[in-house]
Amino acid sequence: MEENKKKKGLPGIFNLFDLALIILALLVGAALFLSRDKNTSGALTGENQTRIQVRYTVELTGIQNGAASRIKPGAPVVDKIKKYSMGTVESVTVSPTVREVSDETRDVLTAVEVPGQETATVVITAQAAETDTDIIVDGGYTIKVGLPVNVRIPGLNAQGYIVEIERGDAQ
């Protein structure tokens, strides 16, 4: 047997497969960098914007009974994922969580309360910039009706949807 087998490639230098992986990683990194969220940087400084006071309503569903009582007027609201400020709580209304269930015997949908859960309807106020296409609160968060939200309010993390937006006077 021959003990000295020749190694393919040079020792200490990357082989072709290593170079391909490095180039692929650089391309993925460049694509992620170029496709990052540019919405908040340009929209707040654009020329077609109006400063407004905005009140919007968020419906937070599936909250454990009693937990919605921790939401207090004046509390800051923050996006749980990107940590954007979304404004402050103006008011809170709590009601039982209701789901629509199909009643197959009568072929209709029936509203049924979900035991152990409640829904908090939270009105939030914030200063915002309104562009031709978006409303962006001063914390950088874009609001639109129907947009899903994940919020952090002191003492509570919840998720829901923006259900209403009221634009105030231009400033």
pLDDT of residue 167: 87
Q: How are beta strands 142-143 and 85-103 bridged, if at all?
A: unpaired
Instruction: Give the closest residue to 162 by CA, choosing from 151, 150, 146.
Output: 146
Please compute the mean of the pLDDT values over residues 82-95 and round it to a whole number.
93
Q: Across all residues in the chain, what is the average pLDDT?
A: 83
Q: 11-33: buried (b, 16+ CB within 10 Å) or exposed (e) per residue? A: eeeeeeeeeeeeeeeeeeeeeee
Q: How confident is the model at residue 168 (pLDDT cuts 50, 70, 90)?
A: confident
Residue type, 78: V
Q: How confident is the model at residue 39 (pLDDT cuts 50, 70, 90)?
A: very low
Among 10-14, 82-86, 100-104, 156-160, the range scoring the smallest mean pLDDT is 10-14
Q: Where are the domains of the chain?
A: 40-170
Q: How confident is the model at residue 43 (pLDDT cuts 50, 70, 90)?
A: very low
- Residues shown for the chain: 171
**Residue 54 β-bridge partners:** 126, 167
Residues 59-78 have pLDDT tens digits of 999 899 889 889 999 999 99
